[in-house]
């Protein structure tokens, strides 16, 4: 019998202090085929710094420099790619309605081929990607790469693309969120694809993040983890092992896409 536990999405302290109390964590139910790992209270507090768009941390897993071009012959079913599940339970019950990627943890070669031959053509050139959230800053730290609203939560102005992958019996949902910074308002400058997980230190309870997308809630931060050892006093419940297995986040600077285990935080009214 499958068991349930909660994904708890938490805010980076550097952002939360700017937003005061408006930054609220979000929760997504994950059904696992193994015994859940317990989690404890904790909140990461990286020292973030705003960087240029071309900055790539030396420890990030970086794709080759070849650039894929957009084509209507993309192997991804675009109707499925543009379909966002109403919640995690719906995703589990209707997997055939959504795009499945190869498992990046156990079959990296297949994932790399899928990335180059299907995902990148489906996303299209950066200049043609509709903006999902008019974020103010794109922030890089040794802990994560994030796009933040900064002064106040902002509404979603577009629907993310979406795929999922399966690893060890767990389904990981991955929304692809097109973001920007204050230098290019209204123009997509980067696509962040966080794989949402239940392996996150405990915070206050919230609502399912996939539901928040469906409801059009205001977004605070999208974050993809790079190195969780920055916060050694937090029990990440195994998320640090997943991040390490992936090699940090997965960076494709030529196509302006970053993928990895991460979080999406919405404002709770």
Query: What global pTM score does this model have?
Result: 0.74
Residues 143, 228: Cα–Cα separation, whole Å: 6
Q: What integer pLDDT is reported at residue 199 of this predicted model?
A: 54
Dihedral angle over CA of 250, 268, 137, 114, nearest 10: 20
Q: What integer pLDDT is reported at residue 23 of this predicted model?
A: 42
- In tens digits, the chain (269 residues) has pLDDT values of 433 433 333 333 333 333 333 343 333 433 333 333 332 233 333 333 333 443 444 445 554 444 443 444 558 999 999 999 998 899 999 999 999 999 999 999 999 999 999 999 999 999 999 999 999 999 999 899 999 997 788 999 999 999 999 999 999 999 999 999 989 999 999 999 999 986 544 333 344 578 888 887 888 889 999 999 888 887 787 888 999 999 999 999 999 999 999 988 888 66
Q: What integer pLDDT is reported at residue 61 of this predicted model?
A: 55
- β strands within the chain, DSSP E: 3-8, 27-32, 49-50, 61-62, 99-100, 137-140, 144-148, 154-155, 161-167, 170-179, 190-196, 218-225, 250-252, 257-266
């Amino acid at each position: 019998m499958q068991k349930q536990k909660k994904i708890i999405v938490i805010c980076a302290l550097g952002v939360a202090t700017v937003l005061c109390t408006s930054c609220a964590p979000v929760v997504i139910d994950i059904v696992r085929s193994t015994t859940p790992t317990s989690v404890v209270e904790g909140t990461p507090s990286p020292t973030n710094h705003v960087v240029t768009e071309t900055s790539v941390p030396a420890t990030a897993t970086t794709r080759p420099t070849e650039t894929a071009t957009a084509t209507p012959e993309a192997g991804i079913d675009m109707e499925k790619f543009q379909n966002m599940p109403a919640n995690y339970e719906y995703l589990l019950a209707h997997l055939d309605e959504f795009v499945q990627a190869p498992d990046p943890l156990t079959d990296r070669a297949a994932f790399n081929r899928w990335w180059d031959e299907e995902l990148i053509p489906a996303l299209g050139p950066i200049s043609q990607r509709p903006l999902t959230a008019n974020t103010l800053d794109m922030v890089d730290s040794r802990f994560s790469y994030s796009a933040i609203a900064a002064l106040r939560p902002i509404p979603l102005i577009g629907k993310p693309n979406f795929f999922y992958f399966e690893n060890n019996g767990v389904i990981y949902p991955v929304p692809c969120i097109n973001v920007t910074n204050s230098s290019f308002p209204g123009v997509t400058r980067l696509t962040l694809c966080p794989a949402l997980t239940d392996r996150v230190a405990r915070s206050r309870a919230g609502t399912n993040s996939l539901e928040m997308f469906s409801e059009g809630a205001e977004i605070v931060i999208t974050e993809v983890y790079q190195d969780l050892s920055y916060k050694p006093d937090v029990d990440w419940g195994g998320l640090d092992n997943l991040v390490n297995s992936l090699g940090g986040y997965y960076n494709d600077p030529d196509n302006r896409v970053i993928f990895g285990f991460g979080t999406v935080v919405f404002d709770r009214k």
